[in-house]
Amino acid sequence: MSAVSSRLPVFPWDKLEPYKATAAAHPDGIVDLSVGTPVDPVPAFVREALSAAADSPGYPTVWGTPALRDAIKGWLEKRLGARSVEHANVLPVVGSKELVAWLPTQLGLGAGDQVAFPSLAYPTYEIGARLCGAEPVVYGDDPTALDPARLKLLWLNSPSNPTGRVLAKDELVRIVAWAREHGVLVVSDECYLELGWEAEPVSVLHPDVCGGGFEGLVAVHSLSKRSNLAGYRAAFIAGDADVLGELLAIRKHGGMMTAAPVQAATVAALGDDTHVQEQRARYAARRRVLREALERHGFRIEHSEASLYLWATRDEDCWATVGHLAGLGILVAPGDFYGEAGARFVRVAFTATDERVEAAVKRLAR
């Protein structure tokens, strides 16, 4: 067994390949609702900003241009309600998954330290802990029930991937106070924050949650879903200046630089709200028809008040559900990809095109 395979679990998506082949054999083709990859066009003005910055022969900076930092700062204040944001409170990253996977390592965590994340969670939280040799710890609904003795990093995820659950403001206030009392760094994955449907997500950087200061807090944000920039790897973190300063120094040594044209595209995307609302409308329509079709087909939807997914169950083993839907030419993600607690659920993304979503609706109706 290689050193890598002994540290890390099997890449989960590889297990889905036989079901993908079954779905792809459908006469009308596959409807892939598994990964959640954006399919709608990158806004034209963002592509124009990228193109205009294409003649960038020099190295970009890890901290980003002043224009990029200004754009992130302005967005945090306008969209999240954060106050007194300075350039020291922001840092661009090369996509949020890279940040999640390598953050514990960059923080200097290792053997004897604990990294905690929800029992239903993005698998990369666990991977990040394992890569640095820290102990991954799963928590249920209440992270404040954890023993803080060796806990160094607490992941929050609201809106949740995969469930779409949103943590209430009062709950965030209580968690942040507990973490600060025990010296635990809170890192809040808020990449779906602009995609609330039946709830209004709140950031840990909102003054009602953090008290106006960012000590012990880092928020993670991405333009992949809100601006269709998954292919650009455009993301950033914000929060505690001391933590971000340390990460900036480490990332300079590691050459973790966002490409200069992507920085320019990010500035353009963060400065415009219209394209975000247009994309929200597309997703809202797809979400509505898919939810109705799944419920008519015998599914129960839980949580799903935000994000790009429906958390669905037929009260059976998740792989039986995956197989059933694959037989209809529809590919979804099994819930156990996200933890044992998801063993009887599937995650259904509504990121396919309108035509493919309509195909799924028709197949579920039959």
Same domain, 238 and 355: no
For 63-213, where are the alpha helices, taking DSSP H only?
66-75, 96-106, 124-132, 169-182, 207-210
3-class DSSP assignment, residue 120: coil
Residues shown for the chain: 366
Given 209, 241, 270, the domain boundary residue is: 270
Phi, then psi, of 114 in degrees rounded to 5: -120, 140
The CATH number that applies at residue 64 is 3.40.640.10
When divided into structural domains, the chain yields a total of 2
- Same domain for 29 and 158, yes or no, is no
Check residue 8 and give its pLDDT: 73
pTM exceeds 0.85: yes
Q: Which two tokens stand for residue 1?
A: 């067994």
C-alpha to C-alpha distance for 234 and 41, rounded to whole angstroms: 16
For position 296, which CATH number holds?
3.90.1150.10
Residues 117 and 229 reside in one and the same domain:
yes
Same domain, 153 and 165: yes
Is 236 found in the same domain as 261? yes
Q: Are 351 and 308 in contact (CB under 8 A)?
A: yes
Residue in the block written with tokens 């992270």? 143
Find the domain containing 102 and state its range. 45-270
Identify the domain boundary among 270, 287, 318.
Answer: 270
Look at residue 1 in the predicted model and tell me its pLDDT: 43
3-state secondary structure of 353: coil
Q: What is the mean pLDDT of each run of 10 residues along the chain (366 residues)?
A: 60 88 97 95 98 97 98 97 97 97 97 98 96 97 96 98 97 98 98 97 98 97 97 98 98 96 98 97 98 98 97 98 98 96 97 97 95
Are 221 and 355 contained in the same domain? no
